[in-house]
Amino acid sequence: MRTIIYTRVSTQAQNESGLGLEAQQTECKLYAKRFEWEIGGIYTDSVSGASEIDKRPELLNALADLKRGDVFMVYKLDRLARDGALAAIIEREINRKGATLVSVCGEGTAADDDDLGAFVQKRMFTMFAEIERKMIQTRTKQALKAKRAKGERTGGSIPFGYDVDTQGETQILIPNQAEQDTIKEIMTERTQGASIRLIADKLNDKQANGKVWHQTAIRRIMKRHSVDNYWGAAN
């Protein structure tokens, strides 16, 4: 029997963890060896499990390589997809090609399709994987929100109006007074009815260091510091 192996990681950090590509491939190869299956190909994507199928080129290649009677192998079902609906679509395509989906970790995939218990088990694993993904997203958002509330930098570029003070492994955003004064000037001009173009022209007239103010930059500042939020914080 021939097997097609599919592995996936969504981040570099995950690749360096226990679910890395090399670990997945090793476990899948050992599983194939145990059953004396011929490995017809190994396909790998580095993309989120929530991504649509057309954004996962190696998954498409793996599905195209499938032949009737083949085994489509993944280390865990969530490597196929974390979204239950997406996983069902992929599995339906595997079945349409006359192949069988197998997970090294079990999860009900190797059982006969007529086995209701295996079918329910498989759907439960997919559902729990999706719930876990959403819980991780929620915890991540809460952690980032807590960091921002403490003034800690959470990545990306340093926002205008602040400098970074590195304290050990933590980066704290501290106000840059000159830039804060510019933000105050922008918000004051805007509340008094000045257009974004006029604000940009006024700032450029005052510049002595060669910096050019563009309307897009002013819009970003205004979006970050909405009028109500800005004056509420300033009072």
Chain segment 158-178, per-residue pLDDT in tens: 788 888 887 776 777 788 888
Six-digit token pair at 193?
A: 């009815």
Split at pLDDT 50, 70, 90, the class of 63 is very high
What structural domains does the chain harbor? 2-138 (3.40.50.1390), 162-234 (no CATH)
Overall pTM > 0.85: no
Split at pLDDT 50, 70, 90, the class of 197 is very high
| Percentage of residues of the chain with pLDDT beyond 90 | 23
| Short-list 177, 175, 156, CA closest to 165 | 175
Q: Exposed/middle/buried for 41, CB within 10 Å: 0-12, 13-18, 19+? A: middle
Chain segment 94-136, per-residue pLDDT in tens: 988 999 999 888 765 554 445 545 555 555 555 555 556 666 6
Report pLDDT for 156.
66
